[in-house]
């Protein structure tokens, strides 16, 4: 026992040892501070702490950025849709907003603010989410956002195999039942798609179209939705392209709205004229989401390639021809920077495989002005002619606007409509004038009669012009004839 006490150092020895160690450490710290620059010291400290925390920590973090390999990340989007459904007591702040400009009283929708935390439970795993944001760098147009998902290291595999697929399928079912649709327009200054709530009452029920045509469009859309596996098996992108053509006011935009409502797809409405060049176009198009419609209206007022191509095809010596061609090319050309091939590349080139469940719709009033490359078989899958009002279309419009299925004036108006071209927009305008069917239908008849009179007048005027021209030509012939006679007389005298 006495020997044991002998081995324990005395208090004064311990204190002096402590004093020398602390003096030594101060000395080392001073030397390190003097000799190693601060940035280097910070670097070493961070590396040390990273090493020890990762070695001893039992947590693992997944990072999910909003862009993935040059396109929008669908995983990010699915999480964005899913997480607001998992907000619980651990979430300290919440984003709320209503972008329905038609309805200020619509209940606001929740979203996650940056740095807010959401705790989720899945099959016994504890999962912690935080939305982060990093500042835009020179080559980014806006701040980049990413989710941090922390879990236990041992749950890492299960997160990938079960939890993330669960998020995607939940988001998919939320999106398929989405109540509100968005209409996106591209803001070229901010380089972002801006959305507003899309509330258009158009449906296939209210659309004045020939029943057969309507049925075939609906069948085509249904088939498109059901055929994910088929598209994969034949090696094609899951896309469908529609070209809607016909005179103004025949319902092209209304059909687009009906398609969006039917499919429950958002609409991205792109004005090609504002797009700077093909790479700008590619960036704009890759930042659209799946289950959406890309709408490009008045496509005839658009590409550059036709200009270049027609120039290279037709050798030109004549100045006047050049002027004419310039004018017609201008009608066909997109904004100087966007080429038709850039657009076609996106429709069915390599870029077409970016994204799924997309519908692309072009509209034009003048199909014959379109570049043949756009009309080639397989390019736009379905060409739909939207024509003037037919008797069936008229009845549909009357039913929609006046709520009646029959009337004494129907027969007469139907006969008129078959002779005189009138657009559904013109018919709808007359029907909206009065709730009384008799008054509204009479006003429609008046309009059609006016059109008929106008057509007759125009025809009479045209006939008159033709006759006048013939008289002038005849007069010239007479004068020429006189000159001939004079010349002959001079020859023989
Ligand atoms: N086929 C139709 N069925 C129902 N309503 C129609 C139809 N066509 C036109 N209308 C009515 O006329 C209005 C104008 O039609 P819409 O804008 O769809 O025509 P459009 O063919 O797209 O014209 P534009 O070529 O000038 O863009 C719509 O608001 C709609 O009320």
> DSSP string covering 147-213, please?
EEEEEEGGGHHHIIIIIHHHHHHHHHHHHHT-S-EEEEEEETTTTEEEEEEE-----TTT--S-HHH
Q: Is 133 helix (H, G, I), strand (E, B) or coil?
A: strand
Nearest-CA residue for ligand 1 atom 11 is 425
Answer whether 424 contacts ligand 1 (Cβ < 6 A). yes
Q: What's the 217 CA to ligand 1 centre distance in angstroms? A: 17
355 and 442 housed in the same domain: no
375 and 238 housed in the same domain: yes
Residues 453, 406 share a domain: yes
pLDDT in tens, 62-88: 999 988 777 778 899 899 999 998 888
Q: Is residue 39 part of a domain?
A: yes
Domain of residue 89: give its range: 63-177
**What does DSSP assign to residue 64?**
E
- CATH number (domain holding residue 326): 3.40.50.300
Residue nearest to atom 13 of ligand 1 (CA): 425
Q: What's the CA-to-centroid distance between 46 and ligand 1, angstroms?
A: 65
Atom of ligand 1 nearest to the CA of 256: 18
Residue 482 lies in a domain: no
Residue 187: phi and psi, rounded to 5, are -95, 105
Q: What is the pTM of this model?
A: 0.68
pLDDT digits (tens, 9 = 90+) for 455-467: 888 888 888 888 8
Are residue 87 and residue 165 in the same domain, yes or no?
Answer: yes
pLDDT digits (tens, 9 = 90+) for 412-456: 999 999 989 999 999 999 999 998 999 999 999 999 999 988 888
Whole-number Å distance between alpha carbons of 454 and 63: 69
Same domain, 199 and 102: no
Handedness of CA 110, 114, 118, 123 (dihedral sign): positive
Whether residue 53 is found in the same domain as residue 75: no
Distances (CA, A) of 408 to 391, 411, 435, 438, 441: 14, 7, 16, 9, 10
Domain boundary among 385, 414, 443: 385
- The answer to whether position 115 is within a domain reads yes
pLDDT band at 328 (very low <50, low <70, confident <90, very high): very low
C-alpha span between 56 and 100 (Å, rounded): 50
Give, for ligand 1, the residue of 386, 424, 427 to mutate: max count of ligand atoms closer than 8 Å to Cβ: 424
The whole-number pLDDT of residue 315 equals: 40
For the chain, the 3-state helix, strand and coil shares in percent, each to the nearest 5, are: 55, 15, 30
Torsion angles phi and psi, residue 106, rounded to 5:
-60, 140
Please spell the DSSP secondary structure of 314-348, one letter per residue.
Answer: S----HHHHHHHHHHHHHH---TT--HHHHHHHHH
Q: What is the pLDDT of residue 167?
A: 95
Position 323 confidence tier, pLDDT thresholds 50, 70, 90: very low
Q: Do 42 and 140 have their domain in common? A: no
Q: How much is the pLDDT for 93? A: 85
ipTM for the whole predicted complex goes beyond 0.95: yes
Between 49 and 458, residue with greater pLDDT:
458
Same domain (yes/no): 288, 372: yes
Q: Cα of 375 to ligand 1 centre, how many Å?
A: 23
With H, G, I as helix, E, B as strand and everything else as coil, classify residue 244. strand
Residue 224 lies in a domain: yes
Distance (angstroms) between ligand 1 centre and the Cα of 423 equals 8
Task: Assess if residue 144 is contained within a domain.
Answer: yes
Arithmetic mean of pLDDT, 145-172: 93
Q: Is 392 in the pocket of ligand 1 (CB under 6 A)?
A: no
Closest ligand 1 atom, residue 365 Cα? 25
380 and 251 inside one domain: yes
What order do you get walking across the sheet with 144-152 strand by strand? 59-65, 144-152, 125-134, 117-122
Rg (CA), the chain: 37
Instruction: Answer whether 252 contacts ligand 1 (Cβ < 6 A).
Output: yes
Sole residue written with tokens 């809607």 = 244
Atom of ligand 1 nearest to the CA of 254: 18
How many whole angstroms from 244 Cα to the centroid of ligand 1? 12
Structure tokens at 205: 């029920």
Looking up tokens 């919440």 gives 94
Mutate to test the pocket of ligand 1, among 210, 261, 428 (most ligand atoms within 8 A of CB): 428
Domain assignment present for residue 13? The answer is no
- The residue whose CA has the least distance to atom 18 of ligand 1 is 251
Domain's final residue, options 145, 177, 209 = 177
Residue 481 is assigned to a structural domain of this protein: no
Residue range 28-48: mean pLDDT, rounded: 79
Residues 366, 404 share a domain: no
For residue 186, how far is its CA from the centre of ligand 1 (angstroms)? 23
Residue by residue, DSSP assigns 264-310 as T-EEEE--GGG--SHHHHHHHHHTSPSSEEEEE--GGG--SHHHHHH
- Give how many domains the chain has, as a whole number: 4
3-state secondary structure of 131: strand
Rounded to the nearest whole angstrom, what is the distance from the C-alpha of residue 323 to the centroid of ligand 1? 35
342 and 211 fall within a common domain: yes
Which of 402, 421, 425 gets mutated to test ligand 1 (max ligand atoms within 8 A of its CB)? 425
Closest residue by Cα to residue 292 from 309, 270, 308:
270
Distance of CA 223 to the CA centre of its chain: 21
Q: Does residue 491 belong to any structural domain of this protein? A: no
Instruction: Tell me the CA–centroid distance for residue 204 and ligand 1, in Å.
Output: 13
Q: Tens digits of per-residue pLDDT, 367-404?
A: 988 888 888 877 888 999 999 999 999 999 999 999 99
The answer to whether residues 325 and 280 belong to one domain is yes
Residue 317 Cα, ligand 1 centroid: separation in angstroms? 45
């Amino acid at each position: 026992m006495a020997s044991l006490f002998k081995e324990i150092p005395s208090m004064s020895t311990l204190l002096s040892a402590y004093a020398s160690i602390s003096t030594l450490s101060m000395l080392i710290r001073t030397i390190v501070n003097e000799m190693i620059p601060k940035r280097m010291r910070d670097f070493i400290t961070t590396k040390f702490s990273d090493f020890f925390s990762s070695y001893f920590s039992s947590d693992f973090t997944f990072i999910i950025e909003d862009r993935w390999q040059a396109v929008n990340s669908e995983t990010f989007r699915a999480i964005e849709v899913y997480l607001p459904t998992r907000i619980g007591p651990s979430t300290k702040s919440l984003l709320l907003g209503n972008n329905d400009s038609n309805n200020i009283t619509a209940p606001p929708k929740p979203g996650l603010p940056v740095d807010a935390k959401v705790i989720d439970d899945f099959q016994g795993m504890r999962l912690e989410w935080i939305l982060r944001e990093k500042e835009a760098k020179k080559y980014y147009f806006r701040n980049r956002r990413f989710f941090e998902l922390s879990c236990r290291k041992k749950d890492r595999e299960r997160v990938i195999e079960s939890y993330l697929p669960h998020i995607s399928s939940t988001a998919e079912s939320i999106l398929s039942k989405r109540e509100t649709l968005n209409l996106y327009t591209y803001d070229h200054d901010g380089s972002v798609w801006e959305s507003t709530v899309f509330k258009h009452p158009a449906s296939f029920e209210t659309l004045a179209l020939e029943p057969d045509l309507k049925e075939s469009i609906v069948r085509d859309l249904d088939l498109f939705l059901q055929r994910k596996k088929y598209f994969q098996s034949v090696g094609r992108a899951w896309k469908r392209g529609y070209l809607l053509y016909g005179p103004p006011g025949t319902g092209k935009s209304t059909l687009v709205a009906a398609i969006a409502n039917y499919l429950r797809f958002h609409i991205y409405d792109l004005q090609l004229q504002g797009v700077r060049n093909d790479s700008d176009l590619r960036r704009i198009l890759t930042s659209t989401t799946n289950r959406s419609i890309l709408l490009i209206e008045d496509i005839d007022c658009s590409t550059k390639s036709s200009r270049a191509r027609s120039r290279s095809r037709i050798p030109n010596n004549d100045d006047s021809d050049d002027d004419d061609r310039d004018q017609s090319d201008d009608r066909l050309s997109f904004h100087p920077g966007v080429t038709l091939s850039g657009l076609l590349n996106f429709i069915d080139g390599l870029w077409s495989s970016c994204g799924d469940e997309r519908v692309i719709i072009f509209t034009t009033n003048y199909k014959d002005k379109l570049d043949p490359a756009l009309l080639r078989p397989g390019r736009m899958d379905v060409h739909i002619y939207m024509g003037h009002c037919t008797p069936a279309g008229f009845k549909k419009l009357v039913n929609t606007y006046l709520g009646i299925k029959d009337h004494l004036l129907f027969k007469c108006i139907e006969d008129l409509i078959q002779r005189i071209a009138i657009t559904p927009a013109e018919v709808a305008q007359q029907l909206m004038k009065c709730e009384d069917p008799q008054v509204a239908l009479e006003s429609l008849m008046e309009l059609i009669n006016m059109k008929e009179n106008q057509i007759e007048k125009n025809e009479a005027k045209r006939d008159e012009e033709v006759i006048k021209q013939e008289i002038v030509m005849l007069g010239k012939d007479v004068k020429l004839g006189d000159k001939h006679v004079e010349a002959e007389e001079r020859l023989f005298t």
